[in-house]
Chains A and B, each alone.
Chain A
Amino acid sequence: MGASFFWTLPVDGDRRGPSARRGFIGGLRDERRDRFTDYDYLFQVARAAESAGFTGAFVPWDEQGEDSWIVAASLAREARRLIFLPEIQPGFTTPVYLAKISTSFQRLAGDRLAWKIDLERDPVVRRAHGDHLVGTDFFARAGEYLEAAKGVWTEEPFDYEGRFFAVEKGGLKGPLAGRPLPLTYTAGQSDEALAFAARHADVHLLDGGEPSVVSAQIARLDQALGRFVVSRPVDGQPRRVVKRGIRLSVVARHTAEEAREAVRVTGWESRRDLVAGSHDEVAHRLDELADLGIDQFVLDGTPHLEEAYRIGEHVFPRLTVAARPVARAA
């Protein structure tokens, strides 16, 4: 057993790196000039996550930050063990393109890609990217997007005729074919998101909170799964498995008091997915969540380099065996 732990990469730079660098004014020699980019810091965080024992790196899609796909692909050859979980906007490319860039990623990185399909983005932001679909239409297209991408991946020749996408005699061939399909992660608590997860996801990420709140979310996810299973058995399987994951913002310190102060300094008081406390308390909370059947954790903490090490050194060793991070997601 064990759980998969993903660390969040700070695509907005953590207010660190060249774009936020404070120059020296006291005549100190500074040889950095333009020799480094923000990606050098991102790589440091990825390496920190790898060293700390995380299974993978979650790369959020942040309008103000670097693009999630470019970040993941640019670090995949240097970080040799992490699974990369970039957040992807369904419909910003064609599904064939998603399949093609992804199989290329699997080839160069040794099958370390997973997809976080974003179902929660503000429609205003999507309209700014030329995407005007909302509600049922949005979820219908996102479903087609994954169906067609997976179809191109697993069948050749592949034909698809949907409302939004069509493929004729498609399908990856030769060495592009046959790679493991990236696992699909989703999140969101709306009925549509849960129904979508039941149909398309391998892992659905719940939103962090008190165990009682999380339990209620699990019940709703199970309901959605139950409805789906009744209406649409998949490949003769009586039950489609959708793993439970969770997103958490973590502040762990030696003492609860220090953690409270750190929460205040980072301005995270209002974060609903916050887990803050002593190393023991945070480890205990993660164990509790693992007991609820959650085995996929997507953690965030700032600054991302130091916090990755802190969790690796102080929290992971305190977890029970069931919740210890595994090297590769199963």
Chain B
Amino acid sequence: MAIDVYWRLPLHGCKGELGIGRANRGDWSPPVVGNLAPGFAAGESDGSSYADHLADIARAAEISGFYGGLLVSFPNTDDPWTIAPALARETKTFRFMIAFQPGFIAPAHAARLSASLQRVSGGRLVYNVITGGGGPSQLWWGDRVAHDDRYARTSEFLDALKAVWREGPVDYRGRFYQIEGGGLAPRLASQAIPEIYFSGSSAAAVAAAGRHADYYLSHLEPFDALKEKLERVRERTAAEGRQARFALRFDILARRTPEEAWAEVARAWQTVDRKALERLNAGTGDSVGFARQSAFRAGLGSVLSHRDLDVDAHIAPGLWSGFNLFRGGPGIGVVGSYEQAAAWLDRYLAAGIDAFVLAGTPHLEEAYRVGEEVLPLVRGRVQDQPARGPRDDYPVVGPEVGQAAQAPISSGA
């Protein structure tokens, strides 16, 4: 199977540099001179919208060879269900991986929204099913269902959605959803159900993933912990008679040389204050994934310099766990030369990963950089080589892949 590489579409705003600072792309900080999309001059907005910039990033990602992008969803983001249709007609190959919590949309309605999105985009919708980090933000959304029940609801949601999509007219009787004679009009029902990227680290999440995930999507974790988690998912998926596929999401900061990449981290480090360091080990909510990330960091000891946040240095340099000093979300990402970054992707491919969701700041320029400099160096799994080639009509990366595969690959340092 071809390896699908996605980029992140930052529905929460973007900025020109990695470090802490004003999100100057979009109106997520009070617009001042130097702001982009909306631009700001003579005390006035230029009338552009942040969606203009998101469209630019989506086009940059598809031009640089990414299969699509992850449209993230938090309380303070633009919403994927609005941005995806808005950008569908001005992109060509970009897959819209919509992050959403199933509990907030009725499954038959979600099927209808999704099938219409498939029609307007030519089948470019992908799901990132999330079930919520819990805590205060679940209540912000108006959701009071408890953690494990939410996964039961997610599982039921996907059962109901698939039934309505494939089997209409159909009755569905569940704990959370009761549908009488559900189904889609023929024009909608003929569309493909989107691939499901499923997130969640708890036992309840892994159980639901086993039943529904086309790809189990994990944040980056230290190599051994990750392998252990994937093994749990693999077992659980096999118990459902299915074969698991895995995707990893992480930030990537790659430069021509390792020194240049680390200089970038060092510059960003200068923007970190003591409070941010304290927040590193404090967490809220009932997300098991968050707890796992915090635990990895605690094992690193006290953090005095950015190099104290290296992970798995015994395997190879370049896993750094400080990315969430600069933004919300998971901490571990890849830092290094183009060759080192590509080698980490190869390492994960060898460990059984099947797809990537990458990100870098700023998202527009870094999409080009990673697409031009890193992805062409990825060798892929050896067993994939004979079958390698354009996947249907959408090649994952350009023809450089074949050439790069014959070039000597640095194994790290």
Stretch from A169-177, A241-249, A260-268 forming part of the interface with B = A169-177
**Closest residue to A173 on the B side, CB-wise?**
B76
B404 touches A (CB below 8 Å): no
A39 touches B (CB below 8 Å): yes
Which residue of A38, A39, A43, A148 has the most chain B CB atoms within 10 A of its CB atom? Answer: A39
Residues of B within 8 A of A97 (CB): 79, 81, 104-105, 141
A71 touches B (CB below 8 Å): yes
Stretch from A61-69, A221-229, A270-278, A322-330 forming part of the interface with B = A61-69
**Closest residue to B47 on the A side, CB-wise?**
A110
Q: Give residues of chain A (66-124) contacting chain B, Cβ–Cβ below 8 Å.
A: 66-67, 69-71, 73-78, 89, 91-97, 100-102, 104-105, 107-110, 124
Stretch from B116-124, B253-261, B271-279, B345-353 forming part of the interface with A = B116-124
* B interface residue count range (under 10 / 10 to 19 / 20 to 34 / 35 or more): 35 or more
Residues of A within 8 A of B112 (CB): 67
Residues of B within 8 A of A95 (CB): 142
Q: Give residues of chain B (63-92) contacting chain A, Cβ–Cβ below 8 Å.
A: 75-76, 78-79, 81-90
Flag if B79 contacts A100 (CB, 8 Å). Answer: yes
Residues of A within 8 A of B139 (CB): 167-170
The docked-state distance in angstroms from the alpha carbon of A132 to that of B181 is: 12
The docked-state distance in angstroms from the alpha carbon of A181 to that of B139 is: 22
Report how many residues on chain A are interfacial, defined by Cβ distance under 8 Å.
58
Known contacts A69-B81, A74-B86, A107-B50; A128 and B180 CB within 8 A of each other: yes
Residues of B within 8 A of A76 (CB): 86
Flag if A104 contacts B79 (CB, 8 Å). Answer: yes
The docked-state distance in angstroms from the alpha carbon of A109 to that of B49 is: 8
Flag if A107 contacts B78 (CB, 8 Å). Answer: yes
New contact pairs (11) apart from A74-B88, A74-B89, A108-B50, CB-CB < 8 Å? A39-B88, A67-B112, A74-B86, A77-B87, A97-B81, A102-B82, A130-B178, A132-B178, A166-B142, A167-B139, A170-B140
Q: List 29 A-B contacts (CB under 8 A).
A: A37-B120, A39-B88, A39-B120, A64-B185, A64-B187, A66-B119, A70-B85, A70-B117, A73-B81, A77-B55, A78-B90, A96-B104, A96-B142, A97-B104, A104-B83, A107-B50, A109-B86, A124-B180, A128-B180, A130-B160, A160-B142, A165-B142, A167-B139, A168-B136, A169-B136, A169-B139, A170-B140, A175-B27, A175-B50
